[in-house]
Amino acid sequence: MGESLNNRMLGLFKGFSKLSREERFARLQQMGAITKDDIKYLKSGGLKNVDLAEKFIENVIGYFQMPMGVATNFVIDNKAYAIPMAVEETSIIAAASKTAKWINEHGSIRTEMLGKNIIGQIQIAKVKDYEAFEAILIENKKSLIDDANREVAAGMVKRGGGVIDMRIRKVPRGETPADGFMAVVHVEADACDAMGANIINQVCEYLKGPIEELTGDKVTMCILSNLVDTRLTKATVTMSGLDDELMEKIEEASLFAQQDPYRAATNNKGVLNGIDPILLATGNDWRAVEAGVHAFAARDGQYRSITTWKRKNGALVGEFIAPVVLGVVGGVTKLHPTATMALNMLSVSGAEELSRICAAVGLVQNLGALRALTTVGIIEGHMKLHIKNLATGAGATEVEMPQLQKRLEDFLSLHKRISLSHAVDMLRDLRAANSSKLAEESN
């Protein structure tokens, strides 16, 4: 995407949060992110017919609607994006958009893929002789891979992928050598633009028979792994011209999350605040990604942050590295009209680009959180945007909403805290004051 087109998109994003829904539709259509048919679909409320749901899951009773918005101001690898995010939590989209704009003013976002292969596992729980088992599989590895590609993964091979490698791991059965060992075969495959869960499971199931026949050992189970450390996604944010005290605070906050698992858990949840909504919008398996991210975060035996922020040569440099294995073909991504629309909005070339976008947004979301936590604090940053939810929860009408929000904002500014009970009490007082005013005017 050229610089002029990027500038045009960023220009259309100016003031986006203050626009009406109709005006947002118009802006997105201007930038080519959505079409007239998309607007019609979104105005209709999306899916209303449960027939499609019956094809996805069992015991269907309806749909659970999730709000979908657009994160703005993102330029990733010199390409501007309108990023669809389906999420219920207040402030996520606002924080991502605000932080992306800040990055545009001071630096850039770069991404890359480290490796391509997904992993399937074949477990032999009670291997008779591990060394002999390993020797037989190494000797027959090429023929096993060729057979799997021909008999099961032919379609994947035609798209440029397929089974690439096999590795054998010796895994302890217990705490001591006396407990013995199991053999675990890792089947590595390039799934191209698919997430690849179904095909890698089929490959492993197919290989079960030949492995048992060759070795005389019994295969216990076959299943993919969500800890895909053979296919990592990396995102890097570099910013210059920042206040040195702010950079130091962010660096210290990052160190806290690296060294303390209690903080790391919340830090990583904040990173996933940026990733999960994109996965949900595009019909990807966010549970698989979360499992992989959390497992990767504990790879050295302690749970740590999947992001780091450091000062380097006067600049602030942030890095995200974790498995984010996604698909843009197959499954819900092509069957659910909202997921298809979201992928079209992103205009991605393939699964790798989608993974890189998610990593970038997760890192940006993390930066926004660290900046807020080390400056204004979580209450002023998050709760100010949560005020509308509190007013709605208290039962304010459309007419009462602006008045109640103003009272809640003033209270938050003064006391640095706010809750639903405050909103309920203020609404009661507001109604009493309005009732008294009406009574006076009628007299």
Catalytic residue flag (residue 415): no
Q: Locate tokens 């026949």: which residue?
A: 213
Q: Write down the catalytic residue from 134, 193, 217, 285.
A: 285
Catalytic pick from 40, 142, 218, 269?
Answer: 269
Query: Catalytic residue among 89, 165, 212, 290, which?
Result: 89
Task: State the virtual CA torsion across 295, 356, 65, 53 in degrees, nearest 10.
Answer: -80
What whole-number distance in Å separates Cα of residue 341 and Cα of residue 49? 18
Does 285 participate in catalysis according to the annotation?
yes
Q: Is the dihedral of CA 12, 13, 18, 21 positive or negative?
A: positive
DSSP single-letter state for residue 379: I
- How far is 400 from 435, CA to CA, in rounded Å? 12
**DSSP label of 167:** E
Q: Which of 98, 234, 294, 382 is catalytic?
A: 382
Q: E strands within 117-258? A: 118-124, 162-172, 181-190, 221-225, 232-239
What's the distance, Cα to Cα, between the start and end of the chain in Å?
A: 67
Placement of tokens 């895994």 in the chain: 171
Q: Is 192 left (phi over 0), alpha (psi -120 to 50) or beta?
A: left
Residues annotated as catalytic (active site), given as ranges:
89, 269, 285, 382
